[in-house]
A and B are shown apart, each in its own frame.
Chain A
Amino acid sequence: EPEVTQTPSHQVTQMGQEVILRCVPISNHLYFYWYRQILGQKVEFLVSFYNNEISEKSEIFDDQFSVERPDGSNFTLKIRSTKLEDSAMYFCASRDNVGDTQYFGPGTRLTVL
């Protein structure tokens, strides 16, 4: 069964450093999403991406964040200058253009020191 994959599974970085989180959505999916979950809290929407552009973004998704689909398979989230409060689990999700269900990857746990 096809699935969303994410790399790395765990990333540790120093405050102020740039990180890139990578996702490979399910191959025939057209809608892509990033969410984050701070430890012990609810899952929060960051950004949605369709047709090579951002569809929607939340207040969390400020100028420090960017997304890119550099090729036909990868979908990346970049945080330019990480803060301590960026420590969280980051989930990528994807959906096809017919169904309504977003399928989530296993997540990347980001730890900012």
Chain B
Amino acid sequence: AQKITQTQPGMFVQEKEAVTLDCTYDTSDPSYGLFWYKQPSSGEMIFLIYQGSYDQQNATEGRYSLNFQKARKSANLVISASQLGDSAMYFCAMREGPSGSARQLTFGSGTQLTVLP
């Protein structure tokens, strides 16, 4: 079974609108972390936001927020007030095991977001 599933290969959003990128995960470990990274066409991987499995509140970082629904095992990324520069590939990733461990990230297949002017 896939550990990270991103069901939207491509998404379009109008500039200044909000958009939600879906991510579901699968783990039996009670301790895990969820991450979102942005990969523009230039190729680098840019960290956006993090949510720990024990965090009570949804993470927010500027225009990015993570809609964490633990019972549904979903960690959707919400981008508010989209900008043209938000056009990129977005990856959801998970680290299983306690925070601070050396465990690797497992990535989803990504969602290509295009912001339309």
Q: Which residues of A contact B (CB under 8 A)?
A: 31, 33, 35, 41-45, 48, 50, 55-56, 58, 89, 91, 93, 97-98, 100-107, 109
Contact = CB atoms under 8 A, between A and B. Distances in A.
Nearest to A54: B102
B47 A104 contact: yes
Dominant secondary structure at the A interface: strand
10 contacts: A42-B91, A42-B107, A43-B91, A45-B105, A89-B43, A100-B52, A102-B47, A104-B44, A104-B45, A107-B45
B68 to A, nearest CB: 15
> Counting chain A CB atoms within 10 Å of each CB, which of B50, B91, B104, B105 scores highest?
B104
A103 B50 CA distance: 12
Contact of A100 (B99, B107, B108, B110): B99
Interface residues of B, number: 25
A48 B102 contact: yes
> Counting chain B CB atoms within 10 Å of each CB, which of A35, A89, A100, A104 scores highest?
A100
A21 B42 CA distance: 19
B107 to A, nearest CB: 4
Nearest to B104: A45
A33 B42 CA distance: 21
A31 B52 contact: no
A58 B107 CA distance: 14
A42 B52 contact: no
A100 B50 contact: yes
Nearest to B109: A42
B77 to A, nearest CB: 15
Contact of B95 (A91, A97, A100, A107): A100
